[in-house]
Amino acid sequence: MSSKVLKLAFTLLVSIFVSPLVSLFVAQGVLADAGKMDESKMEGIPNFFQISANIGTGGQPTLVQLDEIAAQEYTLVVNLAMADSDHAIVEEGDILASHGIKYVHIPVPFDAPDASHLKAFFEVMDAHRERKVFVHCVVNARASVFTYKYLTLRKDVPSDEASTPLLNKWLPGMDDAWRAMMALQIEDI
């Protein structure tokens, strides 16, 4: 048998036997957080969190992790960190482009985020809504807030489904600049 035929047969068997089991486990609560589970290869990225099937967030990936982002079939990476941030990779855009991944850099100063940054992020996300997107900054703080605002304001996703564990921990101690970002409404952007 050719490898194409074997691959097709395997895919068919998985869809017949495994998919119903996963659905059963999700329905029974055994895999209640299945939609939120970290993809094992991405766990090394600081504070990585897969919010939805098409959107993941995290801190600054390493050079090796950029390859893993490609392997996980992300087709757009949005970087919200400053170019001189800790562990920034100067050639990040070039490396991702070599994998066929579009790269957008929206530098957001951590001490001075504003609605114009969020507006630029919304425009990128809207323009690429069909892509699988990885949004990152240094530790996933900016990425968590921006993704949360996009999902709740633009996509009507419930607050609890649009949040990341890091955002939930950060909210009580958030400074005024970030509280102001969290308070923005769609008409402010």
**Distance from C-alpha of 111 to C-alpha of 177, rounded to nearest angstrom:** 7
> Which region, left, alpha or beta, applies to residue 62 given φ > 0 means left and ψ of -120 to 50 means alpha?
beta
Same domain, yes or no: 132 and 162:
yes
| Distance in angstroms (rounded) separating the CA atoms of residues 155 and 168 | 20
Q: Where residue 95 sits, what CATH number does that domain have?
A: 3.90.190.10
Q: Is 13 exposed, middle or buried (0-12, 13-18, 19+ CB in 10 A)?
A: exposed
| pLDDT tens readout for residues 30-53 | 333 333 333 567 889 999 999 999
Residue-wise pLDDT tens digits, 102-148? 999 999 999 999 999 999 999 999 999 999 999 999 999 999 999 99
State whether 28 and 8 are in the same domain: yes
* pLDDT of residue 16 exceeding 60: no
CA–CA distances in Å: residue 130 to residues 76, 125, 148? 10, 9, 18
Same domain, 65 and 150: yes
The parent domain of residue 142 ranges over 33-188
Strands (E), the chain: 49-50, 55-58, 76-79, 102-105, 133-136
pLDDT of residue 37: 37
Quick: pLDDT tens for 62-99: 999 999 999 999 999 999 999 999 899 999 999 999 99
